[in-house]
Chains A and B, each alone.
Chain A
Amino acid sequence: MKSKEMSSMERVLLTLSHREPDRVPLFLLTTMHGAKELGISIREYFSKAENVIEGQLRLQKKYRSDCYYPFFYAPLEVEAFGGQVIYVDDGPPNSGTPFISDIEAIYHLKAPKVKDCKVLHKVLKTIDQLRLYAKNEIPIIGVVMSPFSLPVMQMGFDKYLDIMHFRRDLFEQLIQINEDFCVDWANAQLQAGATAICYFDPVSSTTIIQKELYAKTGFPIACRTISRINGPVATHFASGRCLPIINQVAKTGAAVVGVSAEEDIAELKQACKNKLTVLGNLNGLEMHRWTLAHTRKVVRETIQKAASGGGFILSDNHGEIPFQVKDDVLSAISETVQKYGQYPVIQEHNEK
């Protein structure tokens, strides 16, 4: 055990360099739980930056997460494009009917300017204020949807797959618009004080498209986009599988990869060794039913499989913990990391 406890920033930076810090870093990616902390509805919570700032401060303190996560909700960027967001009382705001109904309209689509979008300003204000509390000791993780994955919410998955396969002119046009927007949005968050950007790209996962198609689409798009983002990037597949494309992911410029609960964390860790830090992979969907004993068991097993040598951050598999996950389960995750995540990690079978 190390003599001095590291700050979250030190802990994360050391694991990103594939060395062992004092303990396994924990990114407990809670968003809606902030509303619960403040005793207000999810809709009200996300209506202004002050709520999310207070929510993130409370959640970080309560669960000792090693980051602030000023992510509002997935369809935020669609909202910036003029799309509809639907609120529910017990879940994340969701995208409504896609705003591109006629695919030919892509030729007339214009990306919003970050400086003109009030919905984006809420996030920038949140990051800017969290920076004052973080004091460079706690990483702040900004979020963008990848230019390649955003069209699912812009036009619907079926139409998007249709243009990806049969209308490359429209596909390329939409991707160009989204790339420029994504870069501006990522860099605005970094300028506001984000330490790193989480690049959500579920469509690139082999759950959605085959490896060969990724090589021609999601991969070059990620290479181009990430090279224009002025800070470190974590690519997150939001529960999608990525093991078959992991070597390509490492070449996109990403430093971290968010991985699925459907793949073996030990195998992923081995494949990512010295190339990518693995972020994951607690099953957020099952988590709402976990008992405390089961929580401790799963967290400890995950740490034992993946923590050795650094290059690992414990987190959920999706990048957003469901609202239904109870506080005592989140506390148990945190406590188990504090207890069993200390380096060097002692393997259970060696323990007396």
Chain B
Amino acid sequence: MNNLKKYSDDLERALLVLDQQGAEKIILDACQAESPMLDAGELVACTLERIGNAWSEDKLSLSQVYMSGVICEKLIDKIIPPASLLRKDQPKMAIAVFEDYHLLGKRIVFSTLRASGFELLDLGGGLNADDLVAAVKQENIKILLLSVLMLPSALRIKDLKRKLTDIDVRIVVGGAPFRLDSELWKEVGADAYGSNSAEALTVVSKLMEEKK
């Protein structure tokens, strides 16, 4: 789309002032063409990516990232229902909060990915390694996104990784311990790390290509 940048600027402005109606109009205007999924997904992904990166640069707050994701998720669900064939064809993916109940990070990434056209299972919070191994096997999950708040939980991803050694699944981690310690994701044996929702989107898109 030639006007992607312009629409994305407009959409970002609308999202940051929580103007849901305005945001919907911009998305609909942008995708009046014949392939709404492609245009809407691309526009929303591009905008949420910029918003996520702006948070890492301390230009926007986590609250703004969260609210933008939630609004976009609602709008995309309205424009392209979850079961639509227009959604992306992808390996199975899930997201969970590992070992605690601080759910905001998971919610932000979940909203951003769904608003960008991906489908993923929300496994919830307070899950331990055994819970996750069972879920991965039962659901045949190929990409597992984990949000973590506490250092001990982050370190226990090593145990989870070991328990999943023989299973074809990639682990992507995120959350405060990884953001404040840039080497930690390697230490725990994760396959990738996203410091914000924008990076999560980039990492997932890349892994999806590899898994195809």
A interacts with B: yes
Given A165-B67, A209-B61, A213-B61, answer yes or no on A94-B187 (Cβ-Cβ < 8 Å): no
Contact indicator per residue, chain A 139-179, by CB within 8 Å of chain B (1) or not (0)? 00000000000001000111001001100000000000000
Given A323-B152, A324-B151, answer yes or no on A97-B61 (Cβ-Cβ < 8 Å): no
Given A209-B61, A210-B60, A262-B180, answer yes or no on A91-B107 (Cβ-Cβ < 8 Å): no
Given A98-B101, A158-B107, A210-B61, answer yes or no on A165-B181 (Cβ-Cβ < 8 Å): no
Contacts of B152 in A (CB 8 A): 88, 90-91, 322-324
A156 to B150, CA, bound (A): 16
Contacts of A152 in B (CB 8 A): 102
> Is B151 within 8 A of A322, CB to CB?
yes
Contacts of A286 in B (CB 8 A): 180-181, 183
> Is A97 within 8 A of B184, CB to CB?
no
Contacts of A262 in B (CB 8 A): 180
Instruction: Report A238-256 residues with CB < 8 Å from chain B CB.
Output: 239, 241, 244
Contact indicator per residue, chain B 173-199, by CB within 8 Å of chain A (1) or not (0)? 000110011011001000000000000
* B177 CB, nearest partner CB in chain A, Å: 5
> Is A213 within 8 A of B151, CB to CB?
no
Contact indicator per residue, chain A 193-227, by CB within 8 Å of chain B (1) or not (0)? 00000000000001111100100000000000000
Given A157-B103, A206-B61, A209-B63, answer yes or no on A239-B176 (Cβ-Cβ < 8 Å): yes
* B127 CB, nearest partner CB in chain A, Å: 13
B53 within 8 A of A: no
Given A91-B152, A207-B61, A208-B61, answer yes or no on A261-B180 (Cβ-Cβ < 8 Å): yes
Q: Which of B61, B103, B187 contacts A289 (CB 8 A)?
A: B187
A276 to B42, CA, bound (A): 46
Contact indicator per residue, chain B 129-169, by CB within 8 Å of chain A (1) or not (0)? 00000000000000000000111110100000000000000
> Is B180 within 8 A of A161, CB to CB?
no
Cβ-closest chain B residue relative to A94: B100
A288 within 8 A of B: yes
Cβ-closest chain B residue relative to A158: B107
> Is B177 within 8 A of A285, CB to CB?
yes
* A176 CB, nearest partner CB in chain B, Å: 21
Cβ-closest chain B residue relative to A324: B151
> Is B61 within 8 A of A161, CB to CB?
no
> Is A158 within 8 A of B151, CB to CB?
no
Q: Which of A157, A239, A261, A285 contacts B104 (CB 8 A)?
A: A157
Given A210-B63, A285-B177, answer yes or no on A244-B103 (Cβ-Cβ < 8 Å): no
* A256 CB, nearest partner CB in chain B, Å: 21
B30 within 8 A of A: no
Size bin of chain B's contact surface: 20 to 34
* B172 CB, nearest partner CB in chain A, Å: 19
Contacts of A239 in B (CB 8 A): 176, 180
A324 to B62, CA, bound (A): 28
Cβ-closest chain B residue relative to A88: B152
Instruction: Report B53-73 residues with CB < 8 Å from chain A CB.
Output: 58, 60-64, 66-67
Contacts of B126 in A (CB 8 A): 96-97
A92 within 8 A of B: yes
Q: Which of B61, B62, B103, B153 contacts A156 (CB 8 A)?
A: B103
Given A324-B151, A324-B152, answer yes or no on A283-B101 (Cβ-Cβ < 8 Å): no
* B155 CB, nearest partner CB in chain A, Å: 7
Cβ-closest chain B residue relative to A90: B152
* B202 CB, nearest partner CB in chain A, Å: 21
A65 within 8 A of B: no
Given A94-B150, A208-B62, A244-B58, answer yes or no on A157-B102 (Cβ-Cβ < 8 Å): yes
Could you list some 30 contacts between A and B, CB below 8 A? A86-B100, A88-B152, A91-B150, A94-B101, A95-B101, A156-B101, A156-B103, A156-B104, A157-B66, A157-B103, A157-B104, A161-B67, A164-B63, A206-B58, A207-B58, A208-B63, A209-B61, A210-B61, A213-B63, A239-B180, A241-B58, A244-B58, A285-B184, A286-B181, A288-B151, A289-B183, A317-B180, A323-B152, A324-B151, A324-B152
B interface with A by C-beta (< 8 Å):
18, 58, 60-64, 66-67, 99-104, 107, 126, 149-153, 155, 176-177, 180-181, 183-184, 187
11 more A-B residue pairs beyond the given contacts A156-B103, A206-B58, with a C-beta to C-beta distance below 8 A: A156-B101, A161-B63, A161-B67, A165-B63, A210-B63, A210-B64, A262-B180, A285-B151, A289-B181, A323-B152, A324-B151
Which are the 9 A-B pairs with shortest beta-carbon distances?
Answer: A91-B152, A157-B104, A210-B61, A285-B181, A285-B180, A90-B152, A209-B63, A286-B181, A322-B151
